[in-house]
Structure 1
C-alpha cells in the first residue's frame, strides 16, 4: 500500500507507523483505541487480516475475486467458529481486521461480528458495496467504534452500474456514503483501476471532493476470480492515473485538505513517485526514499503484512491468492498458522517469506524484477499477480509499468 498523500506532500496520515515505521500512531499503546505501537521493522509487523465472512452478495461485479453471487454457500463458519477466530485475532494483536465478502452486510450476524471484534479491542474496517447501509446500520457502526467503512465505487453512474451488474447500484452506494457521513462514521472509497473505468478518473476525483470523502484506495487489478476477464491498464494508462492522483493530492494540499489517497497491490507506484520527485528536484526525495526503504513493498506484503481468511475458514497469503492455502481456522488457530506452526504454512511460509535481505531475495526472482535497481524498495511488485502470470511466485510482476530505463535508473548516493 502506497500513501500518495504522505510521500508527495509530507502530510502525516493514519497508520503511517505501520507503513513507514514512524509518524501518525507511533508509540501508542497496543490494544487501545489507537492503532498500536510502531513495529521495529516492516517484516515484524502483525498482519492486517482480510476476512471474507460470506460469499453471498446482492450484486454481481465483473471483477469479483471471490466469484460471489446471490446464492447461499455451504461450509461457511458458524457463530462459535467466528467467535473463536475473533478471539484469537485479538489475542494475537493483528493490526486490523477487515470484514469483506461477498457482501459482508449480507451475513446474518454481521453487526454481532463487528460488536465482538471491536469489543475485543480490534481495529475493524469494512469493505462493502454500500447498497445495504441504512441509517440504523450507519449509526450502529459509529457506536461500535468502527475505524472506517470502505465503500466500493468503480466509476460514475452507468460505468459503476455496469461493473456491479445491477442498475441503480451507483445511487445506492452514494446513499451509503451520505448515511455514514450523517452518522459521523468515517468512510473510505475503494476502487479497482481497469481499462473500463480509468477514463473516469477525473470525475471520480471530483466526486471524492464533492462528497468530502477522507480516504480513498485505488487498487491495481489482480486478475483472479471473475477479474480474469477484465482488462488491466496499459503502462501509459497506469502512469497517467498516477499523475492524476499526484496532481489532485497537490491541489488538495494547497487548499488545506488532507485526504488520504492510497494505491494498493502495486508497490511500483512508490518508485514511479520517487523518480518523478527526483526529476523535478523535489526536496522530499530523501524522505520518500527512507520511507519506501523501510516499507519494503511486495517483500513484506502477501504472507507477511496481509493475510486472508476465506468463507470456508481457509487461510491464504492475501485475499487474491486463493490458490495457496496455508491452513484452516476450523482446525487450527490463525495465529498458529501465521507463525508457521500448523497446517501447510509450516512448509509454505518460510519459502514465501524467504530472506530478510532484499538483495538475497532478489536472486530468486526472475525477469525484469531480477535486475531492477529498485528491488529493495519495491520488493518485486505484487507477488500474487506475478504468481498468476508465471505459475510461480518468483516471477516478475506483469503489472509493473516502469520503463526499462526507469528500472535501471541509479539513485544519487547523496540522498
Structure 2
C-alpha cells in the first residue's frame, strides 16, 4: 500500500471541486442530482481563483485538483481556472460529461491551459446498458469517440465505472474496453445510496468482497482505484501476506464467474502486464475533501455533511480545524467493528456508506464483510502502521 508522504491532517492529497451542478445528462446514479442550468450562486471566477490560491498555499506537495460537476464543461471560464491552478503549481484534472460540449477544440484549449488528465464514465459495455444508466441515447458511442480523442490530444485517460447489483457482471467486458481505450487508471465506484443512487441496488458486502478480490486479480493489467471501498487496501495487504491466494481466499460464485468471463474475453490477446498499482491511504476527510458548486466543503461528495464554506473561511482552516474532519481522522473512535479492526488506520471503512445507511459518518461500514481479528498472518505489515 502506498502511504502519503505528509500528514493528512495538515493537508489533503486530493481535492474535488464541483465547479457547477449543471449537466445535460440524467444519470440514474447521480450523486449531485444534476440540473439543466447553472446555479446563479455558483462560485464566481474570482472566488474560484481564490479557492485555487488556498489549495496552492499548502505548499509542496500540493493537492491534486479535479474539476467535476455536473459537467465542468458547462462553465465558460474553465480554461481560465485551469490555467490559474497550473500557474500556482497545482496538478489539474477534469471529469466532464460526454455531451456536445466535449469537443476537440475545447480539449486542446484545456490541455494548453495545463490540465493533465481527463476521466470519462463507462458504466456498461454496450449502448443499451450505458445509455440507460446515463439517461440519454447515443452517449455510449460518443464516449468511445471522446476517450480516443482525449488520448489523442495528450491527456492521461481515466475511466470511471459505477458498479451495482444489476451491472456487476458487465465488469469483465468493461475491463476489456478500458484496456482497448488505453486508460491509465480504472476507477470502480461502489454505489453509495445517495442522490439519485438511492433508487439503485448496491452490492451486498459478500459480493463487494468478491469484486474487490477480482479487481486485485486484474490489477496487473491496468491501475485500479476502488472508490468508496477502502477495504480494497485491506484486501491488498492480506493477499500480499499469503502464498496461495485462492487457498487463503476461496473463490465464491461471483468472483469465479468474473474470472471465467475475463479469461474468455481476453483469450488470444496478450495484454501488457504491469506491476500492480498499490492503493493509496486516503479516505473521506483524511487526505480527501470535496467543494461543491456554491463553496460548501464536505469530507466527500458522497458524504453530504457540510463542514464549512470557502466564502466564509479559508479552505486550509476548514480542512485542518473542522470537528467532523478531525473525527474522521481518528479511526479508534469509529463505531462497531470499524473502530476495532486491526486495519482501521489503513482502511477505516467507507464513511459515506456508513452515513448513507445509519445517518452517522463514524458508524460501522455495512459494506465491508471482514470481521476484526479473523486474519492474523499480517502482523509485520499492520504493526508497521501502529495497529494491533
The two structures have a TM-score, normalised by structure 1, of: 0.77
- The aligned residue for residue 295 of structure 2 is 313
Q: Does 1:191 align with 2:161?
A: yes
C-alpha spacing 1:108/1:44, structure 2 compared with 1 (3 Å): same
Does 1:125 find its partner at 2:125? no
Q: Residue 128 of structure 1 aligns to a residue in which SS? A: coil
Q: 2:285 aligns with which of 294, 303, 318?
A: 303
Query: d(CA) in 2 for partners of 1:170 and 1:193?
Result: 16
Aligned to 1:377: 346
Hey, which bits of structure 1, 4+ residues long, moved more than 4 A?
A: 41-45, 412-415
Distance 1:407 1:65, change over 3 A: farther
Q: How does 1:16-415 map to 2 (within 5 A)?
A: 19-21=2-4, 38-39=5-6, 41-93=7-59, 94-131=62-99, 132-156=101-125, 157-250=127-220, 252=221, 259-281=222-244, 297=281, 301-322=283-304, 324-340=305-321, 345=322, 347-354=323-330, 361-362=331-332, 364-379=333-348, 381-402=349-370, 404=371, 408-413=374-379
Provide the C-alpha distance between the structure 2 equivalents of 1:175 and 1:235, rounded to a whole number of angstroms. 35
CA contact under 8 A between 2:209 and 2:368: conserved in structure 1?
no
Deviation per CA, 1:328-385, whole angstroms, max 9, x where unpaired?
Answer: 1122221222232xxxx3x44443434xxxxxx42x3222324433323322x01122
Residue range with higher mean Cα deviation, 135-144 or 234-243: 234-243
Match of 2:275 in 1: none
Structure 1's unaligned 5+ residue stretches are: 1-6, 8-18, 22-37, 253-258, 286-290, 355-360
Deviation of the 1:85 alpha carbon: 1.4
Change (3 A) 1:407 1:195: farther
Contact 2:23 2:97 in 1 (8 A): no
User: 1:235 and 1:321, CA in 2 relative to 1: closer, same or farther beyond 3 A?
Assistant: closer
RMSD: 2.5
CA distance 1:166–1:78, change in 2 (3 Å): same
Deviation digits for residues 200-251 of structure 1 (CA, Å, limit 9, x no counterpart): 111101101111112111111122111111110123432332343233234x
* CA–CA separation in structure 2 for the residues paired with 1:66 and 1:146: 23
Q: Which runs of 5+ in 2 are unaligned?
A: 249-277, 382-388
- Distance in 2 (alpha carbons) for counterparts of 1:154 and 1:229: 16
Task: Give the Å deviation of 1:275.
Answer: 2.7
Secondary structure (helix, strand or coil) at the match of 1:203 reads helix
Partner Cα separation in structure 2 for residue 313 and residue 177 of structure 1: 30
TM-score, normalising length: structure 2: 0.82
